[in-house]
Amino acid sequence: MTHYLLSIYQPDGDGTPPPEFLEPIMRDVEALKAELREAGAWVFSGGLHAPGTATVVRVKDNEMLTTDGPYIEGKEHIGGFTVIQAPDLDAALEWGRKLARATTLPIEVRPLQHGSCG
């Protein structure tokens, strides 16, 4: 089985949506997580803090540089992710479609390189 990263793209903006908008989405996400677990496809998942909490570390001219904030400014950011295992890309894309429906957000589906999950 191949592992796939399902990245959740969130628009930049004003914090957390109101409960009446967010609660049904979170219910759908939890139901999908249960479905993934039942199917044996779920590996792990996590939500990320806002992009402003990021710190970028890089080496330039043998010097370590540390910068606050995201590496790239944009109109959206990765707000969370799920790692799944699936027999092929078609199966991973179906899980990505289900996650897009649950979150109402764009989902990037990308295979992990062999051996990168343990």
Task: Give residue 75's pLDDT.
Answer: 77
Does 117 map to a domain?
A: no
pTM value is 0.84
Task: Give residue 95's pLDDT.
Answer: 98
57 is in which domain, residue-wise? 2-111
**Confidence tier at 118 by pLDDT (50, 70, 90):** low
User: Helices 19-39 and 89-103: crossing angle, nearest 10°?
Assistant: 160
Which CATH number is 43's domain given? 3.30.70.1060
Does 21 map to a domain?
A: yes
Task: Please tell me the distance from the alpha carbon of residue 65 to that of residue 63, in angstroms, as a whole number.
Answer: 6
The residue written with tokens 């590996």 in the block is 43
Q: Check pLDDT > 70 for residue 46.
A: yes
Length of the chain: 118
Does 116 map to a domain?
A: no
Looking at the structure of the chain, the number of domains it has is 1
Q: Check pLDDT > 90 for residue 18.
A: no
pLDDT tens, residue by residue, 76-113:
788 899 999 999 999 999 999 999 999 999 999 999 99
Task: State the sign of the Cα–Cα–Cα–Cα dihedral 106, 111, 115, 118.
Answer: positive
